[in-house]
A and B are shown apart, each in its own frame.
Chain A
């Protein structure tokens, strides 16, 4: 190639790359978007940093034997982990007993049975339910679910009880379980259903024996995600499960109990000064750290399951 041709190509390339002002503007815009994206990393770092830092501070401050004692009374120096973890577990278990059948049933109906028109009519029910703020569900749990349902099931149930909080949380989780499970069943190719029909299977057999097993990873993911949401749900528990201030270790679902999120909200809203009591205020971060680790673990596991469905089809 002659020198002249090379210089001509150079000129052409310079022309194509546009004028420097335009290039600078492009770089600037890119930089702005990049920094916007970096904000998300910063937030994660700050969450982990502030939780771990103050949790370590809490653990060095309190007597470690107080973490395994008679109950959760942060202002008196009793920080029994099992009380609040078992409380959270009870609420989540009841929530799952409500959300699993309703959410999965709705998902199977919407994915396998509903005509497009029925879907358009029925889907907004779940979307509206998803829009109900948790504080409103807390009000409903305390003023309706507790007196009208739980206290009718058990005459010794108190007004504030674990069962009504669990049912309320379960209702809040239904739309999430339904939408994740429906997505998974939607991803099952039609050819698999047609193969089942070709063998003479009925609609119900196809749904239960073919589509559900094919989408099982996504369904498991939906349930795990539901548990994770239930564990982190705060307002329903804070309003309806009672035990503001603290509670003894209990497994009674018809009485009040303290959960992890309930403990945090009562620490934050307690009438006496949270900052005064030694250990009470940092214990907020300790519980938050436990909550973060649990939900993070569950979310990662459920993401694994979702990816398995996606990979297969």
Chain B
């Protein structure tokens, strides 16, 4: 009697446990993991290719490559103008896209009533974020280069900076809105409760708490703007050789310009192997800067992320 009872329990236990090894499940899980391993492999192959092609330039020339202007001769060509151009473009993005973007986000999250107009504005911003970057180049060409020529000087660093600022604006707005939305309502109510006005609530309570999220988003958008090429070639970033217009800063802003990724593009298109090495070396510089910016953003997020 007791023997049969035991065996029944064993049978049940065995049935519940199932087959020891779920072969199909394991293969499935490995296949899923493989997708991430493939992605890592692509990144590794990309880095190996770029460093393999580009390190000779740094070995032979060192900093000379960073401080030489563009040239038709591969032995003398460098990325100085690209670096300067990219810095100018980023200043435009920081001065224009950040204040306008954060201001728009504050309006939409804190001030605007939930009505049709607000919903339309939000939907519009989301659509703008999905517009291909080259279309922003067309906007820049039609408006900044042609219509605003007296101000921008036509195909100039001014037009390029405005175009990039417009390009990242929707991203800045969306990430800032998310950061502001994450601040709990109770904090606002507490501030109103002691008599603060709307602006005081925003300035002293909402913005400080949302600042790490806003900062992360804006830092990421700088990295995005730094790597953009397509819109710039439409608004006149030079893909050949040019001489920097010297003199006062306004002449410089209204004169010819290029950017680091544009230099990469123009060298990549040239068939000679020396220019492929130069392109790879310029990519190394670009990737170091962009990956450093992205890592800063991720660190900021991990460090200051708040759980309410």
Contact = CB atoms under 8 A, between A and B. Distances in A.
Given A37-B121, A50-B143, A134 B38 contact: no
Given A41-B121, A131-B290, A125 B268 contact: no
B166 A43 contact: yes
A300 B127 contact: yes
Contact of B103 (A32, A47, A124): A32
Given A136-B50, A171-B42, A264-B234, A40 B291 contact: no
Contact of A136 (B29, B104, B126, B287): B287
A30 B111 contact: yes
Contacts of A1: none
Contacts of A231: 132
B174 to A, nearest CB: 10
Contacts of B42: 129, 171
Contacts of A285: 138, 142
A63 to B, nearest CB: 23
A174 interface: yes
| Interface secondary structure of A, over-half rule | helix
Interface string B33-74: 111101110110110011001000000000000000000000
Interface size class of B (residues with CB under 8 A): 35 or more
B77 interface: no
Given A40-B124, A105-B34, A133-B228, A124 B298 contact: yes
Contact of A132 (B46, B139, B226): B46
A232 interface: yes
Given A36-B104, A39-B169, A288 B39 contact: no
A202 interface: yes
Contacts, number: 241
Nearest to A113: B29
B253 interface: no
A135 B268 contact: yes
A128 interface: yes
Contacts of B88: none
A278 interface: no
Given A40-B104, A109-B36, A134 B227 contact: yes
A40 B128 contact: yes
B279 interface: yes
A113 B36 CA distance: 13
B268 A268 contact: no
Contacts of B133: 232, 234
A29 B199 contact: yes
Given A105-B35, A131-B290, A133-B286, A40 B45 contact: no
Interface of B: 22, 24-25, 28-29, 31-36, 38-40, 42-43, 45-46, 49-50, 53, 99-104, 106-108, 110-112, 121, 123-128, 130-139, 141-143, 166, 169-170, 173, 197-199, 223, 226-230, 233-234, 239, 261, 264-265, 268-269, 276, 279-280, 283, 286-287, 290-291, 294, 298
Nearest 9 CB-CB pairs, A to B?
A232-B132, A133-B227, A36-B103, A105-B35, A50-B142, A33-B107, A234-B230, A109-B32, A37-B104
21 contacts: A18-B197, A26-B199, A36-B99, A39-B169, A102-B35, A110-B36, A113-B33, A132-B287, A133-B228, A138-B265, A140-B45, A142-B268, A202-B25, A204-B28, A238-B265, A261-B230, A264-B138, A264-B234, A265-B233, A284-B234, A303-B123
